[in-house]
Amino acid sequence: MKITFKGCNPSNYRKGREFPINWICLHFTANNGDTAQNNADYFAREVVEASAHYFVDPNEIYQSVKDSDTAWHCGRERGGSYYNDCRNANSIGIEMCSVIRNGVYVIPEETMKRAAKLTRELMAKYRVPISRVCRHYDVTHKDCPEPWVRNPQLWEKFLAMLTEKEDEELVKSKKVLLNGKAYDCECIDKNDVNYIKMRSLQQAGFNVVYDAIRQQPSITAPQSRTFVPDCTAEVQEAVDILRENVGLEQQTIEYLRRYQWGDELVKKIAKAVK
């Protein structure tokens, strides 16, 4: 994922680490509509003796402090206590930008998703288990991220996002018979429903395109028309003859008309019958 680096003011963090990365700690900025870039710029410019490794908004991520350096994001305030083993020295701090809606802080869904994706990557990179992903609240009982303290279900939802299978992991190559021949197709089996990638149909001769006129994806079996128009008077007459004189059923007529040169075929057969 794309992460832009904008170095933090050196007075706001400590170079290097005393302990390996064991924790990932989530925060919120307590702002209204700030961006990751706003925050990165602010911490680069001002001396505030506080920092975070990452800032996340609905559109992007900025890194302000290198993972190998110690950001000051979850230290003890005013002689408060620690409630778990997460410390500045052994953790990565992620700040999520917030908005105020109806008078309360909200962390937008997109920000949450982006932060979850970043957290997953960091968990994999530093082998941090989900049991050591925490809120700032879990370290010092600070009201942070406030929406997840007020509503712990949102925090649970975030944790669930960290273990959800990603779509890429669900895609499997399977042999599927298409028009009677076996092909390796990309398939997804989700909640007992089988999905097949549209493009996999192409190898069996299906024509898969986006129909710009009708603004719909179009899948056409080999030698079928991409679109079957209503009968012209001439074709309708031929169809009536085949139905009445040959006893062709509606299904058969439709099958013939889907065929690439179906209308010509119908007209020729009708002419021969007559």
- Residue 91 Cβ vs Zn ion, minimum distance, rounded to whole Å: 11
d(CA 198, CA 177): 14
Question: Closer to Zn ion at the Cβ: 95 or 263?
Answer: 95
What binding mask, one character per residue, do residues 144-183 give for Zn ion by CB under 5 A, x or -?
Answer: x---------------------------------------
Footprint (CB under 5 A) of Zn ion, residues 25-54:
27
- Residue 28 Cβ vs Zn ion, minimum distance, rounded to whole Å: 7
207-211/61-63 β-pairing: unpaired
Please name which of 29, 66, 227 lies closest in space to residue 145, comparing C-alpha atoms: 29
**Adjacent-strand bridge partners of 28:** 96
Question: Closer to Zn ion at the Cβ: 27 or 132?
Answer: 27
- Residue 25 Cβ vs Zn ion, minimum distance, rounded to whole Å: 8
Which region, judged by CB under 5 A, interacts with Zn ion, from 20-28, 165-173, 212-220, 260-268?
20-28
- Residue 1 Cβ vs Zn ion, minimum distance, rounded to whole Å: 22
Question: Closer to Zn ion at the Cβ: 78 or 175?
Answer: 78
- Residue 144 Cβ vs Zn ion, minimum distance, rounded to whole Å: 3
Say whether residue 87 binds Zn ion (CB under 5 A).
Answer: no
CA angle 134, 17, 161 (to 5 degrees): 25
Question: Closer to Zn ion at the Cβ: 142 or 243?
Answer: 142
Question: Closer to Zn ion at the Cβ: 49 or 240?
Answer: 49
CB 122 within 8 A of CB 128: yes
- Residue 140 Cβ vs Zn ion, minimum distance, rounded to whole Å: 9
Which region, judged by CB under 5 A, interacts with Zn ion, from 125-133, 139-147, 175-183, 247-255?
139-147
Say whether residue 136 binds Zn ion (CB under 5 A).
Answer: yes
Footprint (CB under 5 A) of Zn ion, residues 176-235:
none
Sites of contact with Zn ion (CB under 5 A): 27, 136, 144
